[in-house]
Chains A and B, each alone.
Chain A
Amino acid sequence: MTISPVKIWRNQKKVRAFLGKTGRIITWTKVHVPPCSFTSQAPYVIIVVEIDKNLRFTAQLVDWEETNLKTGQTVKAILRKTRDPGLEGVIPYGIKFKPI
């Protein structure tokens, strides 16, 4: 599904506040059968991260090795392309995490 370029632009303002934040993996899954717009990334890992007591985040984990796929693993928020660009050609960027 194509995302409106306006929506991409609006959402990217929120991204900055999360960059560089660290947290711990609460739960994770490796997705083998992806929906449209994510087929080029499969298999990919999705995690729920606890940044602090009151803030959790759901996003993909990148640059991982099998040993990183465990609850309690510490991770850091980084900027990455989130999905395949639609027909509008605007590349959506957002938060993903990497192990540290």
Chain B
Amino acid sequence: MNGAKVEKKALKLGYMPLSDCLPLLVAQQQGFFEQQGLKVELQQEVSWSNIRDKVIVGHLDGAHMLAPMILASSIGLGGLKKSLITAFSMGLNGNALTVSNSLHRELFELNTTEFDQASTMKQLIEQRKAQKLPALVFATVYPYSCHNLQLRDWLASADIDPDKDIDIVILPPSQMVDHLKLQHIDGFFAGAPWNSVAILQGHGHCLITGMEIWQNAPEKVLGVTLEWAEKNPECHHAVIRALYQACAWLEQHAEQALPLLQSHLSLNSPLIDQECLIPAITGEYIFDNNQEKSKAPGTLVFNRSMANFPWLSHGQLICSQMKRWHWLPPSIDSDELVANCYRPDIYRQALASQPLSDEILPENNFLQDHLATL
């Protein structure tokens, strides 16, 4: 299509083996990258840190990235300082809190109707303190992640101090279920499909989904360095168009994508089968070991509700939450940081000539609803 124009044909894009990497897999399998004149190699990575470092040093042209990571790296939090940007959101939602069977039982015994409320968790934590029991341990996937922010937000809604009243540890998503099973942790807040895996294998219960904490929450984005974007604008546009097409395709054919997803996710995780992938992709409820209906652990939104637009308000939401936990130095101007990292202008340029561009491009770069949770 626009093959002759791209500055660089052969691209290497990184991803973590999670359900929300699907837009990349689909764009490759359905030939959407190729139609844009790109020859893309997808590279599976083992850690978010690797994704960030490889993008920063240029071993990857771009990657499936945690939205808060873009902001954190741009000011040098947690690693090398390098301006990263995103002009494409790979989708919304997908996260959930799954707790061990024993914690679930304790919460249920404390309050049968509101066992899934943060207030019941608070009550249990106070009770455990009085009994001099060790603090509960919750795992999440990366310090600068929406997972961590959503978990902390939920805990804080019942006056639980996530830095003092519980322990938060970081584990790779693929290790969550094993650690839960071995009772190293009492719960985890992770993305699809790991909540479903824990539930279906009978090691835990989904207590609350990310959607219940932040409605249509930002999650993964396409991350590139500012330097790369400035050097390869047409190429960046082409990637965005291919991914947009993949997300729109997924909205219609989610079920068809299950075997593709399974083949990539099961490469390094024997726990993955197609059944555990279904809930996040199709929204179908699953049943736990006692044949009781479980919460759908966070259905992914790939394209509808303007899910792919890099809303400045999503950046603002993440920034304000990072400020809340004193992760951002007070000298940082949030508006400026968001404006540097979130680039709706690039998204608009990439998709301006698409059919129905009126419908896929919002009027404003900001949506007040995103900040309603604050």
Q: Do A and B bind each other?
A: no
Residues of B in contact with A (beta carbons under 8 Å apart): none
